[in-house]
């Protein structure tokens, strides 16, 4: 077993996993486990960019205020302060590693995105920010002694005497399962977009870290808050492709299929309203016009701006027969980003000693009920750096949860197993989540979904390969999302219920699920 020991084991090779690996290798031995190839992740698809207050009219304080305001009353102020104050330091690291952020006359160029009060979003390759980050970090990792095991799926967290000792992992090519031991286990497994029928997320984003952490006894917080991106290409036979927020930031407008510009009817900020408002408005317009799409129009913008600022989107659309400079882009919302996740404190620590979480899989509290665009890449680096800083401290990791006063802790309720349920498979799970737990929810739709999910859970087969592990993890996450959404009897941020359409001060609290409630 000694040969399988490393000081740090990191699960996941997106921005959070690779950035942690690069910092941690200065302090000890590092093993990265990733279930696909190193660059299979959401990070590489990020388009818009990474937020940082560096413009002349900007400040960390203003960034703080915009983030708090997007979070709809649930952002953790201390965590947001850390995010905005420590941003520049982490961006300097990315630049040092070689991420080629776009510049003009030697100055980094900044874009404005929805709900940011000033231009603040750095980008690389126009709209290929994530790809540049992922390629740069993975190249750096390859130049160090960091060991990376691809096609290796973490399948169980090993805990002994309330402390993490390692992880079990499946070799996806041979089907064998091995134990890997460590001092620090860091989950950087991304979100859970594959829960839904329509999603912008990569196929590897199946909520594994959340399901494994919950099973091991970790706390799961704010999991009902799932962000749906308003503008995802909706073309028959074409996989959902994100049309970045920055396209609206640069002046793109939304029209329904009858040609009416509808966003000013719903919000004074029109197309620059927060994502939940824009996504819901699109759903209302689609219902009103009996259509499965609306249109994004950029034909009034200079062609050169479109082709130089959004080369990746321009090319993708052109390859599918759409010329953005001349025609309208058919779009509809899709599941995009999970605000909640494994509950961590401001150092990325979970309630299990030695177990950390970072990136989209963690709930640091910065996003609250709704994420401000381009804050997730930033959160991934700021709190990842803190994970490594914490492991350097001389005192052993100690969980110091700072949201417990404002949280309701609960186990999952017991539910009856239904005698007749739809067959358990990925398309049925994704359709159930899209139809009943999607952009517009109700007590009735959530009750139906929880009963089916609990019944499926009771029948889960023993997993043996990557698809079966992923499906089991997805159903566990689906249950957590749905139970939390049912529990929260209000609408707030990205969580909207027709039976409780308003936010309620009583619910300005977090919901935390854990297997063993002690608080």
Ligand X SMILES: Cc1cc2nc3c(=O)[nH]c(=O)nc-3n(C[C@H](O)[C@H](O)[C@H](O)COP(=O)(O)OP(=O)(O)OC[C@H]3O[C@@H](n4cnc5c(N)ncnc54)[C@H](O)[C@@H]3O)c2cc1C
Query: Which residues make up the interface to ligand X (CB under 6 A)?
Result: 11-17, 33-36, 40-43, 45-50, 129-130, 153-154, 188-190, 200-201, 204-205, 208, 242, 337, 359-361, 374-377, 380
Instruction: Answer for the pair 121, 51: CB distance below 8 angstroms, yes or no.
Output: yes
Euclidean distance between CA atoms 370 and 230, whole angstroms: 13
Q: Is 14 left (phi over 0), alpha (psi -120 to 50) or beta?
A: beta
- Residue 155, SS3? strand
Instruction: Answer for the pair 483, 267: CB distance below 8 angstroms, yes or no.
Output: no
Backbone angles phi, psi at 207, to 5 degrees: 65, 20
Q: How far is the CB of 488 from ligand X (least distance, A)?
A: 22
Q: Is 118 left (phi over 0), alpha (psi -120 to 50) or beta?
A: beta
Nearer to ligand X, 233 or 270 (CB): 233
Nearer to ligand X, 116 or 497 (CB): 116
Active-site residue among 44, 112, 120, 275? 275
Q: Is 257 left (phi over 0), alpha (psi -120 to 50) or beta?
A: alpha
Nearer to ligand X, 116 or 492 (CB): 116
Instruction: Answer for the pair 364, 351: CB distance below 8 angstroms, yes or no.
Output: no
Of the candidates 467, 481, 399, 513, which has an alpha carbon nearest to the alpha carbon of residue 155?
Answer: 467
Q: Among this protein's residues, is 27 annotated catalytic?
A: no
Q: How far is the CB of 344 from ligand X (least distance, A)?
A: 12
Nearer to ligand X, 51 or 452 (CB): 51
Nearer to ligand X, 35 or 495 (CB): 35
DSSP state, residue 411? P
Q: How far is the CB of 294 from ligand X (least distance, A)?
A: 19
Nearer to ligand X, 15 or 446 (CB): 15
Euclidean distance between CA atoms 102 and 504, whole angstroms: 43
Instruction: Answer for the pair 436, 446: CB distance below 8 angstroms, yes or no.
Output: yes
Q: How far is the CB of 201 from ligand X (least distance, A)?
A: 5
Which H helix or E strand runs over 167? strand 163-171
User: What pairs with residue 63 in β-bridges?
Assistant: none
Sign of CA dihedral 501, 224, 388, 25: negative
DSSP state, residue 101? B
Can you point out the beta strands (E) in 428-498?
Answer: none
Q: How far is the CB of 188 from ligand X (least distance, A)?
A: 5
DSSP state, residue 193? G
CA angle (236 as vertex; 231, 237 as ends), nearest 5: 110
Nearer to ligand X, 372 or 432 (CB): 372
The two three-digit tokens of residue 129, written as one number: 């920010």
Residue numbers annotated as active site: 275
């Amino acid at each position: 077993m000694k040969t399988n020991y490393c000081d740090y084991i990191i699960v996941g090779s997106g921005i959070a996993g690779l950035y942690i690996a690069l910092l941690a290798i200065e302090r000890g031995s590092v093993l990265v486990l990733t279930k696909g190839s190193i660059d299979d992740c959401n990070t590489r698809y990020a388009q818009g960019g990474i937020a940082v207050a560096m413009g002349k009219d900007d400040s960390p304080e203003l960034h703080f205020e915009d983030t708090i305001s997007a979070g709809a009353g649930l952002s953790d102020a201390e965590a947001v302060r850390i995010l905005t104050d420590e941003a520049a330091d982490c961006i300097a690291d990315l630049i040092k590693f070689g991420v080629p952020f776009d510049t003009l006359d030697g100055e980094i160029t900044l874009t404005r995105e929805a709900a940011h009060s000033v231009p603040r979003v750095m980008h690389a390759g126009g709209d290929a920010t994530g790809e540049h980050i992922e390629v740069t970090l993975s190249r750096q990792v390859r130049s160090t002694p960091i060991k990376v095991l691809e096609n290796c799926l973490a399948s169980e967290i090993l805990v002994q005497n309330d402390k993490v000792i390692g992880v079990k992992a499946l070799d996806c090519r041979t089907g064998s399962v091995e134990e890997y031991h460590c001092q620090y286990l860091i989950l950087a497994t991304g979100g859970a977009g594959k829960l839904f029928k329509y999603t912008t997320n990569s196929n590897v984003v199946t909520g594994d870290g959340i399901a494994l952490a919950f099973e091991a006894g970790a706390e799961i917080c704010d999991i009902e808050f799932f962000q749906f991106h308003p503008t995802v290409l909706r073309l028959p036979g074409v996989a959902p492709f994100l049309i970045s927020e920055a396209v609206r930031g640069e002046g793109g407008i939304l029209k329904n299929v009858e040609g009416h510009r509808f966003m000013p009817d719903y919000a004074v900020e029109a197309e620059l309203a927060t994502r939940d408002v824009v996504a819901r408005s699109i759903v209302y317009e689609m219902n009103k016009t009996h259509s499965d799409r609306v249109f994004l129009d950029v034909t009034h913008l200079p062609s050169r701006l479109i082709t130089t600022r959004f080369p990746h989107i321009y090319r993708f659309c052109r390859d599918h027969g759409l010329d953005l400079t001349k025609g309208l882009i058919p779009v509809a919302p899709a599941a995009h980003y999970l605000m909640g996740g494994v509950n961590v404190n401001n150092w990325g620590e979970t309630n299990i000693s030695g177990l950390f979480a970072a990136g989209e899989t963690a709930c640091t509290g910065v996003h609250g009920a709704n994420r401000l665009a381009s804050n997730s890449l930033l959160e991934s680096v700021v709190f990842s750096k803190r994970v490594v800083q914490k492991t350097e401290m001389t005192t052993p990791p100690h969980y110091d949860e700072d949201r417990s006063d404002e949280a309701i802790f609960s186990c999952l309720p017991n539910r009856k197993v239904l005698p007749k349920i739809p067959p358990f498979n990925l398309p049925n799970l994704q359709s159930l989540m899209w139809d009943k737990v999607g952009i517009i929810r109700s007590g009735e739709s959530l009750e139906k979904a929880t009963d089916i999910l609990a019944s499926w859970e009771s029948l889960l087969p023993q997993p043996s390969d990557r698809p079966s592990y992923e499906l089991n993890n997805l159903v566990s996450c689906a249950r957590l999302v749905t139970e939390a959404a049912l529990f929260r009897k209000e609408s707030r941020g990205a969580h909207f219920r027709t039976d409780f359409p308003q936010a309620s001060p009583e619910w300005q609290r977090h919901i935390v699920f854990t297997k063993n409630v002690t608080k």
